[in-house]
Amino acid sequence: MKDSRPTNGNVYAVPLEPKTPQHWAALGGRWSFDSGIFEYQGPLEGQRQSYGLALCELQLQDGRVWANIVFEDLAGASAGIVLGFQSEAGSYLNPQLGGWGSAYAMSEFVPGEGWRQIRLAGSIHNLQAGRAYELQIRQAGQRIVMLVDGVQIFEEVLAKPLAGNQVGLYAWGPHKVKFEKLQILSERPRAFVAMPFEEPFNTMYREVILPEGERLGLDVIRVDELAGPGIIFEDIKREISESKVVIAEITAPNQNVFYELGYAHALNKPTILLARRGRELPFDIRSYRVIFYDDTIGGKPEVERNLIKHLRSVLQES
């Protein structure tokens, strides 16, 4: 299966291929990994809680994960995909089947607190043991979409970016859970650009921000490039939530730019601020790190170097 999905009018230059994990590390419970079938076989002897956690070698910043899940018995059972794992001492996300008496759930593991419910839907009595359910998770920035057998169940914007990018499997209960046809498809992360649509900012976007972002493997998006009959704030908020980073040119006191920047800060999203030297910044953002630049031919290489450095830092931290 190839993915050449258009993203705001652009098509990926190279179609991306889904991958099946080949290597696993079991951190909790008993597991078997054989010929594309991954099975949770129950808790280890002496394990305090009846849960299973296993991580694979593949990572995901943006993209999709599919798996068919088959429960041996639904009594006290749940199973799902682990997203954003960094360490057992950190938080991570678990879109899942079963949990808290529900058919569908999205939860977050919080160190020191345990599992925190984010969304619940349906009754577990409507699930059947022995039946394969296709669980599909789409991750774009902080927007997580959960589908079961092609039906969308949840769409959630997380309050902050995921801590890590490791992918794994999760199961709960004393009974076996089988995971089949697991595939992971990585997609290009996005960078949202907030700036006035006039010169000299258009040149800055066209000659610096766009090419440097694409060189680092980002889909660079500006509001005026969005397809559709008009631009509304809900579309802008969606694009910001789905982006890995927001780049904002804040030289001019533009209300739209500061609205977009404020929404990004509300989501705790990484932001990179650009401003021409010699301009006084608004009081509220003076404490943020800003890349200052000279609007000259000689200033272009400097802003390119600084922008690349900041973008690489954001991508490496995830």
Q: Is residue 266 over pLDDT 90?
A: yes
User: Tokens representing 97?
Assistant: 């089947």
**What pLDDT is recorded for position 12?**
35
Q: Is residue 200 over pLDDT 50?
A: yes
Q: What is the pTM of this model?
A: 0.88
Give the Cα separation of 180 and 60 in Å (integer): 19
Q: In what order do the strands lie in the sheet with 30-34?
A: 30-34, 37-42, 177-186, 63-71, 132-140, 143-148, 151-157
Query: How do residues 112-133 score in pLDDT, each as one tens digit?
Result: 898 999 999 999 999 999 999 9
Query: How do residues 84-110 score in pLDDT, each as one tens digit?
Result: 999 888 999 999 999 999 999 999 999
* Lowest mean per-residue pLDDT among 3-7, 34-38, 53-57: 3-7
Domain 24-186 and domain 190-317 have a common topology: no
Q: Is residue 4 over pLDDT 80?
A: no
Q: In angstroms, what CA-CA distances link 63 with 84, 137, 178, 240, 245?
A: 12, 8, 23, 16, 16
* Pairing assessment for the beta strands 114-121 and 51-59 based on DSSP bridges: unpaired
Q: Where exactly are the structural domains of the chain?
A: 24-186, 190-317
Residue with tokens 């694409």: 214
Q: Is residue 254 over pLDDT 50?
A: yes
Looking at domain 190-317, its CATH class is alpha beta
**What pLDDT is recorded for position 38?**
97
Fold of 24-186: Jelly Rolls (2.60.120)
